[in-house]
Amino acid sequence: MIRLMIVDDDPMVRTGLRLIFGGDPDLEIVGEAGDGRQAMALIRDVRPDVVVMDIRMPIQDGLATTESLMAEPDPPRVLVLTTFDADDMVLRALRLGACGFLLKDTPPPKMIEAVRAAAKGEPVLSPSVMHQVIDAATGRHEPDRPEARRELARLTEREREVAVEVARGSSNAEIAERLYMSVATVKANITRIFAKLGTDNRVRVAMKVRDAGLL
């Protein structure tokens, strides 16, 4: 059972999310809050696994709340809730420790899938946000294409296919579907990719794929 908390200043949004998540047998909604300050007090009591967090809220917004949460021991996973995936505040939330984001118009099955992925420690990023994160991390540097290609040459053909999907912002479930693999096999491939590239970060894998010119 995944313990879930909803934080949004709009009661209608909270109601909609409660209807979406409350109907799933694997999710238990353990609390709701209308602003970040209220959320912080409640989170310490109910100890959720995942918090769906609106960014724009009165009293204390989602950015300040995410930052405060990440300073807590054993913080929950935070999925920021936004209207536009190109919102610069989403990038700021990711830098502060959020594991991904949900668009408010995301289809209900995808929302549930995102919460499950977050609970497992998987990042939840759309392709557009993945590219923004890469750009923000790399700045204006000129890619060392030969070096990136040498590094990716350490991977098997299948591992390179998985790495490209990671760079596109695909979740493990999406990679499994597109490449006709089980989710467990995808995870095994990603573990090997991390080991061969000397990282434990999907964004850095994506950066190497982009620098190699494979996107």
Q: DSSP per residue over 138-171, as a string?
A: HTTPPP-HHHHHHHHTTS-HHHHHHHHHHHTT--
Q: Which two tokens stand for residue 11?
A: 């009661």
Nearest by Cα to 52 from 136, 107, 112 = 112
Q: What pLDDT sits at residue 15?
A: 92
Q: What share of the chain is helix, strand, coil (3-state, %, to 5)?
A: 55, 15, 30
The answer to whether 94 and 128 are in contact (CB under 8 A) is no
Burial per residue of 60-87, b for 16 or more beta-carbon CB atoms within 10 angstroms, e otherwise: ebbbebbbbbeeeeeebbbbbbbeebeb
pLDDT (tens place) for every residue of the chain, 215 residues total = 999 999 999 999 999 999 999 888 999 999 999 998 999 989 989 999 999 999 888 888 888 999 998 888 888 999 988 876 555 677 778 778 888 888 888 888 888 988 998 898 777 776 666 666 666 655 545 566 788 889 999 999 999 999 999 888 788 888 999 999 999 999 999 999 999 988 767 777 887 888 888 87
Decide: helix, strand or coil at residue 110. Answer: helix
Nearest by Cα to 204 from 194, 215, 196, 192 = 194
> Does CATH number 3.40.50.720 belong to domain 2-124?
no
Q: Which two tokens stand for residue 106?
A: 């995301």
The answer to whether 180 and 158 are in contact (CB under 8 A) is no
> Does CATH number 3.30.230.70 belong to domain 135-211?
no
Q: What pLDDT sits at residue 214?
A: 81
Rounded Cα gap, residues 149 and 135, in angstroms? 19
Residues of the chain with CATH 3.40.50.2300: 2-124, 135-211
